[in-house]
C-alpha cells in the first residue's frame, strides 16, 4: 500500500513536469507564429527554455520559413513529450 502511494506521487510529478514542458513548447510555438518581440525578457526566456526542450527535434523537417519550421518541428516535440509523459504516468499508475 505504501509503495502504491509513493508511485502515485511520482506519477503526479511526471504529469506536472510533462505539462510544464508541453506548455512551454506550445507557448513558444504561439510566440513565434504571432511574431512576439524577442527583445522582451519574458518572451526570450520562454523561447530559450522551449529551444532547450526541442533541440533533439530541431530540423527534423527543413521548411521554407522559420514559422513553418517551428510549427512542425516544435509541434512534433510537444506531441512526443505528451505521449511519453502519458505513457510513463500510465505505467506508474498501474503499479
pLDDT value at residue 83: 98
Phi/psi of residue 40, nearest 5 degrees: -70, 130
Average pLDDT value over all residues in the chain: 93
> 1-12: per-residue pLDDT in tens?
455 666 889 999
Question: For residue 54, what are the domain limits?
Answer: 2-94
What's the CA gap between 92 and 35, in Å, rounded?
39
pTM equals 0.89
* Mean pLDDT, range 70-81, rounded to an integer: 97
Count of structural domains, the chain: 1
Amino acid at each position: 500500500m505504501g509503495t502504491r502511494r509513493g508511485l502515485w506521487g511520482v506519477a503526479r510529478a511526471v504529469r506536472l513536469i510533462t505539462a510544464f514542458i508541453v506548455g512551454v513548447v506550445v507557448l513558444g510555438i504561439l510566440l513565434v507564429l504571432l511574431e512576439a518581440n524577442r527583445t522582451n525578457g519574458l518572451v526570450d526566456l520562454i523561447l530559450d527554455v522551449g529551444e532547450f526542450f526541442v533541440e533533439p527535434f530541431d530540423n527534423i523537417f527543413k521548411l521554407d520559413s522559420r514559422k513553418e519550421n517551428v510549427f512542425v518541428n516544435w509541434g512534433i516535440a510537444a506531441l512526443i513529450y505528451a505521449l511519453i509523459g502519458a505513457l510513463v504516468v500510465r505505467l506508474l499508475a498501474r503499479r
